[in-house]
Amino acid sequence: MTIRTFTVVYILLAAGFVWPGAARAEGPLTGVDGCAILASLVYTEVTEARLGFSSRYGTNPLYAGRNEITLCNQATRSVTSAYSAALRQSNIFVTWGFHTGYSGDYCLSHFLSQCYPAGNPAMPPLGEDERSFLARSWQAVRDSVHFRMAHYPGSDVVRFRDHDLRQSIRRSIRFGANEYQSQMVLQ
């Protein structure tokens, strides 16, 4: 009897290892990185500002969710690299500084307020219109993102709502940073 019971248990255990179970363990759910959402948002708004805004607010292809707060812990790198990429679409090439072995595609500082794009010296000089757009759009992006950053030295963390940040950047570029700030005070 014990040999028969042992044999049946052994067969059932062996079949259990071979037989695919109905309930499978799945990998953990991973969402879209907040820095990817931030970079996508900056890229889209700067590109649209240079090419002409669409009549309505676009949706972010990396949608975070309605009224969801998004967090990015590499804000300076994400913002400056997306800004550079957006300008390249308009044949405006910028650099963020020259360091040994560094190409200048993004700012190395953790302080967004210390990052300033400049025309790439390897390319032809920027025209008046390009320099004006560069200054106006960078101030709009920097101020809009900086307002949503944690306020301690070296903070590279930004918390934002997709729609609010998109609207802030768009209005700041369109109306100028000073006009937008005065409108916000009046509201």
What tens digit of pLDDT does each residue of 135-150 get? Answer: 999 999 999 999 998 8
| Residue 161 located in a structural domain | yes
Domain span at residue 97? 32-186
115 within 8 A of 144, measured Cβ to Cβ: no
- Give the pLDDT confidence of 31-52 residue by residue, as tens digits: 568 899 999 999 999 999 988 7
Please, are residues 168 and 144 in contact by the beta-carbon 8 Å criterion?
yes
Banded model confidence at residue 65, pLDDT cuts 50, 70, 90: low
Predicted confidence (pLDDT) at residue 171 exceeds the cutoff of 60: yes
Is 126 a member of any domain? yes
16 in a structural domain: no
Measured over all CA atoms, what is the biggest interatomic distance in the chain, rounded to whole angstroms? Answer: 96
| Residue 74 maps to a domain | yes
CA atoms within 13 A on the CB side of 171: 15
Asked whether residue 102 carries a pLDDT value surpassing 80, the answer given is: no
Q: Confirm whether 20 is domain-assigned.
A: no
Q: How confident is the model at residue 77 (pLDDT cuts 50, 70, 90)?
A: very high
Number of domains present in the structure of the chain:
1
Average predicted confidence (pLDDT) for the chain: 77
Is 110 inside a domain boundary?
yes
